[in-house]
Every structure is written in C-alpha cells, then in structure tokens.
Structure 1
Amino acid sequence: MGLVHVALVVLSLLSAGQSAPVTSCESLLQPLEIQGRDQLLGRWTYIAESTDIPGARTLTKMLIETTWLNITAGDNNDTINIVQNQKTMGLCLSVSSKLTLKNNTISREQPYPGSAILLNTGCPDCLVFYANYTIGQSTYKGVQLLSRRPKLSDTEMEEVTKQMMCLNLPKPVVLDPEKGFCSESQGRTFDLTDTINSMGSDQFSKLDKIFQSEGGVQTLMEMITSAVARINSN
C-alpha cells in the first residue's frame, strides 16, 4: 500500500512501550500484533518508503515532496478509512481508501489488491508497514515508515534502513518536512480517489509494463509532468 500514489497513491502504529533499539534482522522482521484499530487512528506523517517497483525510488524523489495520512474508524468494527494528503510538484492531491483489519493484516481491494502487516520497531510513535501488492501481472513488496512526528532521529532512521536491507529492499527515500504539508483546509486540493478507483485491469497492466520497460520511468515522468502542467494552466 504504499507511496507511488501519483501514478497511484499508495499506504499505518503499534510499537507502544518499546524503547530499546531493535538491531538483528530476526527482531526487525518480527510482526507486531495489532491490539485494535484504535492504535492506528489519527494523523501520521509519511517519513520514508522503499519498494522493489522498478524506478520507484527515482519517481518518489522527483515527484513527492511530503505526505501525511488521516486514519479514522470505518463503519464496521474491522474497517478503517485513510485519507492520504500528498504534495506533488507543488500540487496538493488527496486519495481516500477503505481497508480491512483482520488477523493482524490490513488489506484492500481498490485501487489494486494489497495487504500489509506491522513490523517490530524501537521507535515509540512509529508504524513500520511491510506491504505486498499486485499491479497488473506483477507482485511487489515495500516498507513504509509513518510517525506522529514530522522527523525522526538518525538512530531511528538507521533502524528502518536496516529493516529494508533485511528484506532486500533498496535504501529508503526520506521525505523532507521542510517542504511543507498540504492541509485538509487547503483551498485547491485535487481528490484523485474516483479517478484511481475507476482504473481497470488493462490500465494497471499498462502501468506495470511501463515500470518494467527500459526508459519506463522517464515515460511516466513525462506523462505526470504533462498532466501537472495542464492542471496548473487551468
């Protein structure tokens, strides 16, 4: 569930009471039991992400300035609602998602199927999500780091970087809170929820082919830059 949510927009805490740093891969990859959805609710800052989607690191560094999530309780006891507010090339974008929490796994079907668990962490106010998701014919994995704070210590960042290394994922892209955040009351925020949810399997297959192709990132960058230019001209 993760951060390539311009091309899609990707996804939340659970390490209460843990103060000692976690160091070994065995400890770092230990799943955490989710005691209840209340532990996930509230505002979270998107700190960093790593995924094995080809070119995702380049796309994230070039496109995403800052991101924060607002997680609220869903209508049913096992559902949560997420609104992701993202600053992209100066634009404020939002995407809403409904997820299901069951057996310590958070899952969703739209805009593409995916599931995530929480991993062990020494950060007392962080969520470390290990996600698997399917785009087109390909399955990808990724780790997303969220926190109640806009910025973490070097020690905390070293820990999550090692977690990603233990999963054979690339070095994380760390977002810069100094670039400012879009707010819910922002005058001009573009809600991409309906657009993304209306994408069919053929479109996701095409997107996956772009990810896999030589020069695909450049192609996708040109598409996104063109779309942003059209929005700014209106």
Structure 2
Amino acid sequence: YFLHCSTAAVLLLGLVSVSRSAPLACEDLLRPLGQPDLGGLEGRRAMVAGTLSHLPLMERLRRRDSATAEFSSIQSGVSFRRSSRSGNDCRYASYNVTLEGGGFAFDDGNVSTTFVHTSCPDCVLLKFDVESGKRHHFYLFSKRRQLQEAEVEEFRAQAECLNFPPPVVMDPSKELCPEQPSTEPAAHSQNKAEAKRD
C-alpha cells in the first residue's frame, strides 16, 4: 500500500511539474530579443520557415518558392526590404522603419514587429502584428538557405507556443529573387501592399 501511494505521489508530482514547466518553456522560447545592433542586422537573409495566424494566407505562403528580408542603413534612418518569388514572378517592397524597443515599426503605423530570441546564430526571427493585432506573421530568416534540424525544431516549437499552424519550411534549392535595384522599378511599386500583407 505504501509503495502504491509513493508511486502515485511521484507520478502526481511529475504531472504537476510538467504542467507548471510548459508555460515557462513557451515564455522562454518566445522571449523578446531586445533591440539588436543595426550592424548585426544589416544584410540580406532568406526566409527559412514561416507561419501566420490567418489561414487563407497560409496557402499563399505554401505556394511561395522563396523570400528574403534585408535591413540597411540609409540617410533617413533604416530601410527594410523584402522580396518574394513564385515561379518566375518576383515581388519587391521597401519601407522606411523605425527601430524602437525590441522591434521596429513601419512608417504608416499599421504594422509593428518584434525581434524574438532564436538560438540560430545568423538568423533574424520576426513576429509581425498586422492591423493592431488582427493577424500575426512569424518568419525565420537566415544567411544560410538550410538550417540544422535542431534550429528548425526550435522554430516549430515557438510556432506551437503561439498556436499557429505548423510552419512552412522553404525549399533551399529554389532560386531567390535577384538583388533589388537601388531604385525600385515602377512595375514593382504596385506590389508593395501585397508584399506587406504577406
């Protein structure tokens, strides 16, 4: 009888421990990075994986061949440039952003972004809050096209903590869009809003 009680107590304590540690694990996984140094941010990175809270846009993400994000210092502040490729179609968007706190804000105020901690040394993990939090996007960018499995698994766990759909992992063999010209072509200006939505 004593043995059964002891075993039950150990099991109960184990369950309590697990239930208490789960939220702490997510809290640790999703902790904000704080304001990174612009010098460490600069450069072009490819999207390695991504997910978002708005399910219809997940289908568009699955059809995407590749995507990039790039930070650079400009005379008026900081530029954030994105590209996305689907087949032979490349879309570009460029924004002036303001680094503030643990993230950055777009000039129009509809999107704010938080830098989230990742163990990947050359990655930038971004959580976008769109239209005052109506939907959220969660993207992992890296200077490498393919990460270690442990790094991808960490991102999957982070997405699960946010209750987002399982991430789309990009195919590293798919071609990236060419580097964006210094002056964005007029043909691409119409794609800015759509690139931001994505």
TM-score of the pair, normalised by structure 2: 0.75
Which of 173, 178, 196 aligns to 1:178? It is 173
Which of 144, 156, 161 aligns to 2:156? It is 161
1:145-164 alpha-carbon deviations (Å, 9 max, x no partner) = 01111111111100001001
CA distance 1:178–1:190, shift in 2 (3 Å): farther
Q: C-alpha separation between the residues in 1 aligned to 2:155 and 2:131? A: 23
Structure 1 match to 2:53: 52
Q: Secondary structure at the match of 2:134?
A: strand
Q: Hey, which bits of structure 1, 4+ residues long, moved more than 6 A?
A: none
Aligned residues: 170
Please say if 1:151 is aligned against 2:146: yes
Structure 2 match to 1:92: 90
Q: Secondary structure at the match of 2:34?
A: coil
Q: Verify the 8 A CA contact 2:30 2:117 in the aligned structure 1.
A: yes
Which of 115, 126, 130 aligns to 2:112? It is 115
Q: C-alpha separation between the residues in 2 aligned to 1:191 and 1:145? A: 29
Structure 1 match to 2:11: none
Q: Secondary structure at the match of 1:101?
A: strand
- For structure 1, the residue ranges without an aligned partner over 5 or more in a row are 1-22, 200-206, 208-234
Q: Verify the 8 A CA contact 1:85 1:94 in the aligned structure 2.
A: yes
Structure 2 match to 1:15: none
Q: Verify the 8 A CA contact 1:92 1:190 in the aligned structure 2.
A: no
Q: C-alpha separation between the residues in 1 aligned to 2:148 and 2:71? A: 24
Structure 1 match to 2:66: 66
Alignment-mate amino acid for residue 66 of structure 1 = S
Please say if 1:131 is aligned against 2:128: yes
Structure 1 match to 2:137: 142
Q: Verify the 8 A CA contact 2:53 2:164 in the aligned structure 1.
A: yes
Q: Verify the 8 A CA contact 2:50 2:168 in the aligned structure 1.
A: yes
Structure 1 position 120, deviation (Å): 1.5
Structure 1 position 42, deviation (Å): 0.7
Q: Verify the 8 A CA contact 1:118 1:127 in the aligned structure 2.
A: yes
Structure 1 position 190, deviation (Å): 6.5
CA distance 1:60–1:156, shift in 2 (3 Å): same
Please say if 1:37 is aligned against 2:35: no
- For structure 2, the residue ranges without an aligned partner over 5 or more in a row are 1-23
CA distance 1:92–1:142, shift in 2 (3 Å): closer
CA RMSD of aligned residues (A): 2.7
Q: Verify the 8 A CA contact 2:71 2:80 in the aligned structure 1.
A: yes
Structure 2 match to 1:20: none
Q: C-alpha separation between the residues in 2 aligned to 1:133 and 1:162? A: 22
Q: C-alpha separation between the residues in 1 aligned to 2:99 and 2:136? A: 19
Q: Secondary structure at the match of 1:178?
A: coil
Q: Verify the 8 A CA contact 2:92 2:180 in the aligned structure 1.
A: no
Q: Secondary structure at the match of 1:177?
A: coil
Q: Verify the 8 A CA contact 1:52 1:141 in the aligned structure 2.
A: yes
TM-score of the pair, normalised by structure 1: 0.65
Larger Rg, first or second structure (1 or 2): 2
